[in-house]
Structure 1
């Protein structure tokens, strides 16, 4: 694992003992990270009581062929705003390449495409995002809050939500049961 400056296209994992309880055992798909800050979409927690077809209906889109998929809690910032993390076989207005992990779309076009059966082959939907200002994420990583993992699309698309945190650590060759919740200070 590395604490590289720019983490877009990788997974961000909450360390045990995370100082912010909203992010306990969080797995964040990092979509944007540059000198101005960072934006990621949480992929490790399900929005209870809300399903994808209901979101489409609330947006005025006929659910059509869309599956009644889970809605994820993408993060605490703008929890009413929707984001689709998806395979790179679809692109449209408002699509950002998050190589090598996935693509990110945030326009109604992708929702309509999914409902019409012409959307990306693989996708997940989240409400809200996690955001950091300039240098904030790097500081939180130094304080034992986060660890950077590689890009693991299989965790994003093939691993059940409740297992993503542990699976991401194992994909990095680390047994999450052996992680300490505190670090020492010299």
Structure 2
């Protein structure tokens, strides 16, 4: 990985030419990016299931958050749950992505959310997106993705159907005007 590129805590916006069904029209939050590769979560593709459905499978009683949508996080380990959230806890099971944005795979956070004591600002995903060393950089160079610095407003306070447009607008881009063709000048 080049020293000049670090995409941790950035959003990837799929360009119109990216037609892979997992990533078409997606917004992917990059949780980790280093010389060994990258890991991210697609955060704008609801799966059509809700937290209540998952809590039932985990035998967790829920009095709150049952209707929260679950996102299709990516094609890798689709049975694995990830919670991206805003928090200042010091739990060692949680990875700090960019304080106060954290990532966890712990079921404890789901229990807390079900009881109304978990974070309000959270995105729950099943699966993740992964790239080998240099793969993401090559995809960006081939115009498959736009990169946008992430912020908590975009992550936690923007609906999934508006996320791509709002992220692109941070770059001064209207996605409706983008061509499905690419090239280099």
TM-score in terms of structure 2 length = 0.90
Distance in 1 (CA, whole Å) between partners of 2:16 and 2:90 is 36
Question: Mapping of 1:17-28 within 5 angstroms?
Answer: 17-28=17-28
Structure 2 counterpart SS, 1:63: coil
Unaligned runs of 5+ in 1: none
Cα distance in 1 between the residues matched to 2:153 and 2:71: 17
User: What secondary structure sits across from 1:21 in the alignment?
Assistant: coil
- What residue number does 2:33 align with? 33
Note the C-alpha offset of 1:55: 0.4
Aligned length: 182
* Aligned match of 1:146: 145
- In the TM superposition, 1:25-174 aligns within 5 A as 25-48=25-48, 50-99=49-98, 102-174=101-173
Counterpart contact for 2:87–2:100, Cα < 8 Å: no
Residue of structure 2 in register with 1:5 after alignment:
5
Is the Cα contact below 8 Å between 2:27 and 2:163 reproduced in 1?
yes
In structure 2, the gaps of 5 or more residues are none
Shift of 1:18: 0.7
Deviations 1:65-124 (A, max 9, x none): 334211111111111111111112344242111116721111112112212222123112
C-alpha RMSD over aligned residues: 1.7
Q: Following the alignment from structure 2 to structure 1, what is the Cα–Cα distance between the partners of residues 163 and 44?
A: 6
Q: CA deviation at 1:41?
A: 0.7
- Higher mean displacement: 26-35 or 15-24: 15-24
Contact 2:39/2:130, CA 8 A, preserved across alignment: yes
Please state whether the residue corresponding to 2:22 is helix, strand or coil.
Answer: helix
Where do 4+ consecutive residues of structure 1 move more than 4 Å? none
Tell whether the 8 Å contact from 1:19 to 1:145 is kept in structure 2 after alignment.
no
What is the deviation of 1:61?
A: 1.6
CA deviations 1:12-57 (Å, max 9, x no partner) are 1111111423211110111011011111011111102x11011012
